[in-house]
Amino acid sequence: MKVAELFIKCLEKEGVEYIFGVPGEENIDIMDALHDSTIQFILTRHETSAAFMAGTYGRLTGKPGVCLATLGPGATNLLTGVANANMDLSPVVAITGQAGLGRQHKVSHQYYDIVSVYEEVTKWNAQIKTPDIVPEVVRKAFQVATQEKTGATHIELPEDVAKMDVDSSPLPITNHHLQEADEPVITEAAKMIEQANHPLVLVGNGVTRGSAAVELLALMKKANLPVVHTFMGKGVVPWTDEHSLLTAGIGGNDYITCGFTESDLIIAIGFDMVEYSPKKWNPEGKIPILHIDTQEAEIDACYPVQLNVVGNIKENIKNVSNALTATERNLNWVSHVRNKAFTELETFKDDTEFPVKPQKIISDLRSVLDEDSIVISDVGAHKMWMARMYHCYQPNTCLISNGLASMGVAVPSAIAAKMVHPERQVVAVCGDGSFQMTSAELETAMRLNLPIVILLWRDDGYGLIEWHQMKAFNRSSHIKFGNPDFIQLAKSYGFEALNVEKTEDLKATIAKAVSLNKPVLIDCQVDYRENMKLTERLGNIIC
């Protein structure tokens, strides 16, 4: 058989369902081999979108999402989405075509050393230079992508190697298991929690990756621990639970910041520093850290680890919980912080001013959607509002990219999320700036008949940059742009398009959109004057 055919057989062995991508001349043999495969190729309108889809598939399933591009510009377009997945710790295997081996030693049409380009944004990557190594390379790419901490790998297949004959077969899959921490470590961790007067749990995305939410809830209740979520840890503890201090990470002071100020021990579980820099919540490095994760903590002066509990997060949380004695703690301060946050949300519940305030949009969105609905926030000013005020009942129901944090992620991610969970409501929350970066994927959603909802916050500019400019200089610079008629744009792709003309109509419009069971775009003007008002309020918070 051809190398390309063996390559596809190896992907099938790994359980690949979809490949997201844009093919090119240099991987036509791969595309031909897919004709007889169980794998479904999802043609996208841009390679970056393909990688965003693969990353979201990986985050929601725990299995590597697979994306494909050709050499040169295809590979470099794919790069941003691969880097995004890798920094968000989402398992992805990226595949790129390449020029034949006979012209890689010289300047050549569309040729760059893509393996070198991808080195900094992947856990591992390699070129297939000879036919016999195909099974090893594919197996290693998937194994490394799923090993903690999960991330992206990359395989490059030159066009001439893809055509070569080979007599080989896929390798068997060997599962890897994380070890549990030793008993003395578990005992010491339990002792630290028991001796702390005001311990606080900071939960990151690793708890979701490790399917450890149930175990964390048991630990939290037994030791009476308040819990703060990072942007990417949202929903591990339901927002309705009295122990939940909701979400931290917006930067600067906030109600939740008071939780860190009160604490004499931070129990960081499944936390990665890219999610929320310790300098923002432990600037002097005075609060000791109990670090429970799959790897030892990164060295950081503001993250003074007293004990690393390393290994299987789920089992280690369970073991620490078993080693603890039940503890009573006064959590009145937690209730105070929760009441402050909820009062702010409730204040805007019945607001009728237009354009619509961010708080009102979030209040209406949360009230309409089911508990297991999936909301994907793009990057921009709306992300900060969503992260802070859209509260979750379950993990992975509000997806926020907070590593590389690339704009344009929401629409492609909504497509992938709906493919993984067709039974759930899926909403992409976008600013007009981020939406335009991947809006061509509306055609992909229509072609696949995926009933996603796009909630567009329109302000005709880069609102988050303006927010930062106003805080720094009290004036903005070069952030305004023109927009198309989004209603007509969406309709041209076949979407249902709804325009919010009065704030009172917003909730009913969202409800209609999710009930239509078809692709829908909602165009909603947002009042970002609230950005600086929020900055002023947060600046006046005294813990």
Residue recorded with tokens 């002023």: 536
Q: Any bridge partners for residue 308, and if so which?
A: 291
Q: What is the pLDDT of residues 404-439, one digit of tens each?
A: 989 999 999 999 999 999 999 999 999 999 999 999
More confident of the two residues 368 and 102: 368
Cα distances (angstroms) measured from residue 124 to each of 58, 219, 318:
17, 36, 32
> pLDDT grade, residue 252 (50/70/90)?
low
| Predicted confidence (pLDDT) at residue 543 exceeds the cutoff of 60 | no
The confidence score (pLDDT) of residue 336 equals: 80
What one-character DSSP code corresponds to residue 119? G
Nearest to 44 by CA among 26, 63, 64, 70: 70
pLDDT tens, residue by residue, 144-201? 999 999 999 999 999 999 999 999 999 999 888 899 999 999 999 999 999 999 999 9
- When pLDDT is cut at 50, 70 and 90, the band that residue 531 belongs to is confident
Main-chain dihedrals φ then ψ at residue 92, nearest 5 degrees: -145, 140
Average pLDDT on 190-216 reads 95
Q: What is the pLDDT of residue 542?
A: 54
* Per-residue confidence (pLDDT) for residue 251, from 0 to 100: 64
Least confident of 309-313, 385-389, 536-540: 536-540
Q: What is the mean pLDDT of residues 351-371?
A: 96
DSSP, collapsed to helix, strand or coil, labels residue 460 as coil
| Nearest residue to 26 via CA among 73, 64, 62, 63 | 73
Whole-angstrom distance, CA of residue 368 vs CA of residue 453? 13
Q: Tell me the one-letter amino acid at 68.
A: L
Laid out side by side, the sheet with 124-127 consists of 40-43, 18-21, 65-69, 92-98, 152-158, 124-127
Q: Where in the chain is the domain with CATH 3.40.50.970?
A: 3-163, 348-539
Q: Which of 54-68, 243-257, 271-285 shows the lowest mean pLDDT across its residues?
A: 243-257
Residues with Cβ within 8 Å of 24's Cβ and at least 6 positions away in sequence, in order, are: 69, 70, 71, 74, 97
183-335: CATH architecture: 3-Layer(aba) Sandwich (3.40)
Mean pLDDT across the chain? 93
For 312-343, how does the pLDDT look when each residue is reduced to its tens digit (9 = 90+)? 999 999 999 999 988 888 888 788 878 877 88
What is the identity of the amino acid at 211? S
Which tokens belong to 498? 């709804």
DSSP 46: S
- CA 465/CA 23 separation, integer angstroms: 35
Is 348-539 a CATH 3.40.50.970 domain? Answer: yes
pLDDT mean over 242-252: 82
- Calculate mean pLDDT across residues 258-279: 90
| Distance between CA atoms of residues 214 and 199, nearest Å | 20
3-state secondary structure of 168: coil
DSSP 294: S
With a cut of 60, say whether residue 41 has pLDDT above it.
yes
* Spatial CA neighbour of 89 closest among 217, 247, 208, 238: 208
Q: Would you give the DSSP letter of residue 450? A: -
Could you tell me the pLDDT band of residue 260, with boundaries at 50, 70 and 90? confident
Q: Under a CB-based contact definition with an 8 Å cutoff, are residues 141 and 92 in contact?
A: no
Q: What is the pLDDT of residues 45-90, one digit of tens each?
A: 999 999 999 999 999 999 999 999 999 999 999 999 999 999 999 9
Mean pLDDT for 460-487 is 93
pLDDT number for residue 539? 65
Residue 519 one-letter amino acid: P
- Which residue ranges does the chain devote to CATH 3.40.50.1220? 183-335
Q: Which of these CATH numbers, 3.40.1410.10, 3.40.30.10, 3.30.750.200, 3.40.50.970, describes 3-163?
A: 3.40.50.970
pLDDT at 363: 95
Distance set, CA 292 to CA 202, 247, 370, 423, 518 (Å): 10, 19, 32, 34, 43
The 10s digit of each residue's pLDDT in 483-499 is 999 999 999 999 999 99
Q: Could you tell me what percent of the chain has a pLDDT over 90?
A: 82
Which region among 342-356, 363-377, 401-415 has the lowest average model confidence (pLDDT)?
A: 342-356
**Using an 8 Å Cβ cutoff, are 76 and 158 in contact?**
no
pLDDT at residue 119 is higher than 90 = yes
pLDDT at 102: 67
Q: Report whether 309 contacts 320 (CB < 8 A).
A: yes
Over its C-alpha atoms, the chain yields an Rg (Å, rounded) of 24
Mean pLDDT of 471-483: 93
Across 93-97, 172-176, 206-210, 334-338, least confident range: 334-338
CB 94 within 8 A of CB 122: yes
**What 3-state DSSP class applies to 208?**
helix
Q: β-pairing, 227-229 with 199-203?
A: parallel
Burial (0-12, 13-18, 19+ Cβ within 10 Å), 479 = middle
Residue 294 CB neighbour total at 10 angstroms: 19
Q: What is the pLDDT of residue 349?
A: 87
